[in-house]
Amino acid sequence: MFHTTSDGKTARKDGLPVNTLYNNFVKEGAYDPTQKGADGDGRAIKRDFTDCNSDDEKDAAHVVSAPSSSSDDSSSDSEDEGKSSKEKRRREKKALKEKRRAEKKAALKAAKLEAKRQAKLEEKKRLKKEAKEALKRKLEEEKASSSQEKVEEPPRKKSKKSNDKNAAEKEVKKQDRKDKKKSKKSKKEKR
């Protein structure tokens, strides 16, 4: 398999590198199954599997057995049946346990999602409430500042159709317009 070259180095006869990784490899086209040489051990490689039975035939051959007359064989058959029934029960129990585990996991996930949804709703409500309170405070502050600047304003009639929120927003807008007018007047006076 190895030979020495004129340089004094070892090389393989088939031309592959001298490396332990390539020890089991054979160069392409160099394998001859009919030749049994010093390099091979002479084992025959089976390439035709037509003589083998299919899985169905094997199962049928395994099930059909010769009748036995001894009592030892009958006891071993009952033991096999007992083992198979135990295995069957064990498998059923395991499947049931897995099913329960999956149901529990799904229920926990659903509960978690519901809690998350509720938390979002609560946060949304809280933010709305804070926004309303801030608007009310702003209105009260503006009323207080406007009452100090102005002596009196005649009472206004409230529309039955408008609700408190719209009325509050309108009030804020009117107050903003008045403030803008005042600032414009003060700018003109400064000039």
The Cα 182–Cα 189 span in angstroms is: 11
Indicate the SS3 state at residue 11.
strand
- What pLDDT was estimated at residue 46? 67
Asked if 84 and 35 sit in the same domain, the reply is no
Residue 53, in any domain of the structure? no
Residue 98, in any domain of the structure? yes
Q: Which residues pair with 10 in a beta bridge?
A: 4
Q: Of 25, 40, 55, at which residue does a domain stop?
A: 40
Residue 59, in any domain of the structure? no
Mean pLDDT in residue range 13-20 = 81
Predicted TM-score of the model (pTM):
0.30
Asked if 34 and 92 sit in the same domain, the reply is no
* Range(s) of the domain holding residue 137: 80-148+170-176
More confident residue, 109 or 36: 109
Mean pLDDT in residue range 116-128 = 94
Domains in the chain: how many in total?
2
Q: Which two tokens stand for residue 168?
A: 């509050």
Residue 68, in any domain of the structure? no
- What pLDDT was estimated at residue 66? 46
Give the mean pLDDT of the chain: 76
Residue 161, in any domain of the structure? no
Q: Is the pLDDT of residue 121 over 80?
A: yes
- Do the Cβ atoms of 11 and 18 come closer than 8 Å? yes
Instruction: Label residue 9 by pLDDT band (50, 70, 90).
Output: confident
Asked if 26 and 85 sit in the same domain, the reply is no
Q: Is the pLDDT of residue 137 over 70?
A: yes
Instruction: Label residue 94 by pLDDT band (50, 70, 90).
Output: very high
Residue 70, in any domain of the structure? no
Q: Which two tokens stand for residue 144?
A: 């207080």
Q: What are phi and psi of 147, to 5 degrees?
A: -70, -30
Residue 18, in any domain of the structure? yes
Asked if 36 and 85 sit in the same domain, the reply is no
Q: Is the pLDDT of residue 135 over 70?
A: yes
Residue 106, in any domain of the structure? yes
Percent of the chain residues past pLDDT 70, beyond the cut: 65
Percent of the chain residues past pLDDT 90, beyond the cut: 26
Q: Is the pLDDT of residue 113 over 80?
A: yes
